[in-house]
């Protein structure tokens, strides 16, 4: 690994003023620093490809102002029951064939009921048996639920902070910011890796974007994956009609995330479909090294999948591969964890 610059030392004591100072750098200076730190820890030509499958859609009792799956908003999303294990396995096989190395299963729940856990555990075991990394996002978890999912073979748990603590109640009122932190603690306590980021473009200020990244980087362990979502405005949700975020500000957010959490996978997820190729290229330059193929992209021949593959070819990027060693699935890159409990045991 190349010599680490001072900025690549893992820190958990960022002040808001320090984060603001990074955001306020000139765009070229910020990108130069972020690209340099990215290269210290990763091969910049490699991008991890993950696939997200909604295993239970809609009908959620929560009130997240951005979410079309909240039952209280009229967005045309029909609520579905939990998918069968067989149907999930079929989708996972398609995802693997399409080049995904990680398969994330999402359910629109406030939190899973205890009776749901064995069903999700069966899905996890089957997906894992394909040699895919497994991830789930199911809402808030108790300590016992986190343990059961870990025992089933779950590698990652996604639970986003969504936004800065001081902006949280503008977006969600049915739970507290501390609830998010508690679930993340349960996940870390059982030794699962965390996938945790947020959404920008919800009307928050730059100060609040800095607050989101400050909170993420100051967690006891940096999230292993940090999804940075750009708000997808959905008619019927309270955030429809919000002023669009300047695309350069989105790139800045990626770059600052890379500088503050240098060993984490920084992921472009929601909102990527509407980004130009040039904007995505800037994001990769700024240190993004993971993307989501949404579930609608699972079938090969899909125009969006074709577009991604073409963009990879134009930029000389390649999907990050995973290797399997003695039953443990992990990325083929060097260890990118920042906490001993999160290091893959080969």
Which residues sit at the interface with ligand SF4, rule CB under 6 A?
Answer: 60, 62, 64, 67, 69-70, 108, 139
Q: Catalytic residue among 33, 64, 252, 258, which? A: 64
Which residues, in sequence order, are bridge partners of residue 318? Answer: 46
Rounded CA gap, 87 and 73, in Å? 28
Please identify, using beta-carbon distances, which residue of 59 and 99 lies nearer to ligand SF4: 59
Please identify, using beta-carbon distances, which residue of 22 and 53 lies nearer to ligand SF4: 53
Q: Catalytic residue among 104, 209, 272, 283, which? A: 104
Q: How far is the CB of 61 from ligand SF4 (least distance, A)?
A: 7
Residue 208: C-alpha distances to residues 98, 168, 211, 231 (Å) = 37, 10, 5, 15
Q: How far is the CB of 69 from ligand SF4 (least distance, A)?
A: 4
Please identify, using beta-carbon distances, which residue of 158 and 208 lies nearer to ligand SF4: 158
- Does 196 qualify as catalytic in the annotation? no
Q: Catalytic residue among 33, 110, 147, 195, which? A: 195
Number of helical H runs and strand E runs in the chain = 11, 12
Q: Do the Cβ atoms of 227 and 184 come closer than 8 Å?
A: no
Q: How far is the CB of 275 from ligand SF4 (least distance, A)?
A: 21
- Centroid of chain to Cα 277: 20
Please identify, using beta-carbon distances, which residue of 67 and 152 lies nearer to ligand SF4: 67
- Does 283 qualify as catalytic in the annotation? no
Please identify, using beta-carbon distances, which residue of 71 and 218 lies nearer to ligand SF4: 71
Q: Catalytic residue among 33, 67, 209, 283, which? A: 67
Residue 175: C-alpha distances to residues 30, 61, 63, 156, 294 (Å) = 35, 11, 9, 22, 27
- Does 135 qualify as catalytic in the annotation? yes
Please identify, using beta-carbon distances, which residue of 111 and 337 lies nearer to ligand SF4: 111
Q: Catalytic residue among 102, 135, 188, 283, which? A: 135
Q: How far is the CB of 75 from ligand SF4 (least distance, A)?
A: 10
Rounded CA gap, 235 and 296, in Å? 20
Please identify, using beta-carbon distances, which residue of 64 and 104 lies nearer to ligand SF4: 64
Rounded CA gap, 290 and 299, in Å? 20
Q: Catalytic residue among 33, 60, 180, 196, which? A: 60
- Centroid of chain to Cα 293: 12
Residue 189: C-alpha distances to residues 17, 144, 178, 219, 232 (Å) = 30, 11, 16, 13, 33
Residue 303: C-alpha distances to residues 105, 307, 308, 315, 338 (Å) = 23, 6, 9, 18, 37
Q: Catalytic residue among 33, 102, 267, 272, which? A: 267
- Does 267 qualify as catalytic in the annotation? yes
Q: How far is the CB of 63 from ligand SF4 (least distance, A)?
A: 7
Q: How far is the CB of 296 from ligand SF4 (least distance, A)?
A: 17
The half-sphere exposure of 42 on its side-chain side, counting CA atoms within 13 A, is 31
- Does 60 qualify as catalytic in the annotation? yes
Residue 284: C-alpha distances to residues 31, 168, 288, 322 (Å) = 10, 28, 5, 20
Q: How far is the CB of 65 from ligand SF4 (least distance, A)?
A: 9
Catalytic site positions: 60, 64, 67, 104, 135, 195, 267
């Amino acid at each position: 690994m190349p010599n680490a610059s001072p900025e690549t030392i893992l820190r958990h004591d960022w002040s808001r003023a320090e984060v603001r100072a990074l955001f306020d750098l000139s765009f070229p200076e910020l990108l130069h620093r972020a690209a340099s730190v990215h290269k210290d820890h990763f091969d910049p030509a490699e991008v991890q490809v993950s696939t997200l499958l909604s295993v239970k859609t809609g009908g959620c009792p929560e009130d997240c102002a951005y979410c079309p799956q909240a039952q209280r908003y009229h967005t045309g999303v029909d609520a579905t029951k939990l998918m069968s294990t067989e149907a999930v396995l079929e989708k996972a096989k398609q995802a693997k064939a399409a080049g995904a190395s990680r398969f994330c299963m999402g359910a629109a729940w406030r939190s899973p009921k205890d009776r749901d856990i064995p069903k999700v555990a069966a899905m996890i075991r089957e997906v894992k048996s394909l040699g895919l990394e497994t991830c789930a996002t199911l809402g808030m978890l108790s300590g016992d639920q986190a343990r059961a999912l870990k025992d089933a073979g779950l590698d990652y748990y996604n639970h986003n902070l969504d936004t800065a603590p001081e902006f949280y109640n503008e977006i969600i009122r049915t739970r507290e910011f501390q609830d998010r932190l508690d679930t993340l603690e349960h996940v870390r306590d059982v030794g699962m890796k965390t996938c945790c980021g947020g959404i920008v473009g919800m009307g928050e200020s730059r100060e609040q974007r800095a607050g989101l990244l400050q909170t993420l980087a100051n967690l006891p362990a940096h999230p292993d994956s940090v999804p940075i979502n750009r708000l997808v405005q959905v008619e019927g949700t309270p955030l429809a009609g919000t002023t669009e975020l300047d695309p350069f500000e989105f790139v800045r957010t990626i770059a600052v995330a890379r500088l503050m959490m240098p060993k984490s996978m920084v992921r472009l997820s929601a909102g990527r479909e509407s980004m130009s190729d040039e904007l995505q290229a800037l994001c990769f330059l700024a240190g993004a090294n993971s993307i989501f193929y949404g579930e609608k992209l699972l079938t090969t021949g899909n125009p969006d999948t074709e577009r991604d593959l073409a963009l990879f070819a134009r930029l000389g990027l390649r999907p990050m591969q995973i290797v399997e060693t003695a039953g443990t699935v992990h990325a083929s890159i060097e260890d990118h964890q920042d906490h001993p409990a999160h290091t893959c045991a080969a």
